[in-house]
Amino acid sequence: MIETYTITLGNGIDLSCRAAGRPGDPVLVFLHGFPEAAFVWDELLEHFSDRYRCVAPNLRGYERSSAPPDVEAYRAKHLVADISSLIDSLGGELAALIAHDWGGALAWGLAAHRPEAIRRLIIVNSPHPATFLRELRHNPVQQAASAYMNFLCRPDAEALLSENDFARLWPFFTNMGAADPAREGGGWLTDEVRDRYRAVWTMGLRGGCNYYRASPLRPPLGAGDPVMKVEFAPAAVTSHVPTLVIWAEDDIALPVALLDGLEAYVPDLRVVRVPGATHWIVHERPAFVSAEIERALAG
């Protein structure tokens, strides 16, 4: 059974959370992405709740979590600090951190800087910052696939996304077959699921868009674009946490070239590539994702 609560972190940020399982059991934390919310993990929270305390926070800027108005508040260091503080409140060590999309961006950072707090890292279609930077700079395929990021940085992005019953947001899902029951894993975008997303988006989209505005990682708009000057020290982006990466190969936003060279930054790595699945694999194939997480936890 899913419970909801709000926790106030040491930095004053409130995170609204969904949880299942017994306090005191080993802890799993699940991090969502854009334009999602914590509810996307409900099936997995219930699946693991007989053995683990499972917690899925709504990230800063989402649902009923704190949503500071300033873009600066969405710099990576602040977002990662939120999750670090949440882990402390849950006992200081996780059996696993499971993360998708933007949640994965935070998880990669946390694993590099605080490996002692995470026994296992499980990433679902979220690029490592070093390979993402490489592809954004040099691969026209990735640049085209990520062009939407520059739209989301526009000062009027949240207003445009909200127009006409979020007409610009639904294609994030439908362009990958979410409403097509003839496609394997498709048809998950039912009226009920639409209503859940609609309820979250109605609470505000500015926070979610601020993640893109605050990040230097986006397709370059010219030779002098800031992304061309970004540098990552290898030690700052290398994780020694045992890591499983689940990668849906039909993700039109994140091509599989992002996996190339990943082992240089994640020495203890296992990659599961999933043909026919898309960026929304958590919706499409929750049983498959749960089974792979089970394998990682058992390992």
Side chain identity at residue 224, one-letter code: G
Supply 50's token pair: 């007989």
Q: How confident is the model at residue 299 (pLDDT cuts 50, 70, 90)?
A: confident
| Helices 157-166 + 191-202 axis angle, to 10 | 140
In tens, the pLDDT along 47-90 reads 999 999 999 999 999 999 999 999 999 999 999 999 999 999 99
Of the residues 74, 197, 212, 265, which is catalytic? 212
Q: Which CATH class is domain 3-298?
A: alpha beta
Residue 23: CB atoms within 10 Å: 9
Per-residue pLDDT, 104 = 98
Of the residues 32, 100, 128, 279, which is catalytic? 279
Supply 82's token pair: 């939120």
Integer Cα distance of 188 and 178 in angstroms: 6
In tens, the pLDDT along 170-229 reads 999 999 999 999 998 999 999 999 999 999 999 999 999 999 999 999 999 887 888 898
In tens, the pLDDT along 265-283 reads 999 999 999 999 999 999 9
118 DSSP assignment: B
Summary mean pLDDT of the chain: 97
Is there a catalytic annotation at residue 279?
yes
Is there a catalytic annotation at residue 260?
no
Is there a catalytic annotation at residue 101?
yes
3-class DSSP assignment, residue 244: strand
Integer Cα distance of 61 and 83 in angstroms: 13
Of the residues 62, 100, 101, 250, which is catalytic? 101
Give the list of residues 6+ apart from residue 186 with CB closer than 8 angstroms, or none: 177, 178, 179, 180, 284
In tens, the pLDDT along 84-117 reads 999 999 999 999 999 999 999 999 999 999 999 9
User: Is the peptide bond between 35 and the residue preceding it cis, with omega within 30 degrees of 0?
Assistant: yes
pTM of the model: 0.97
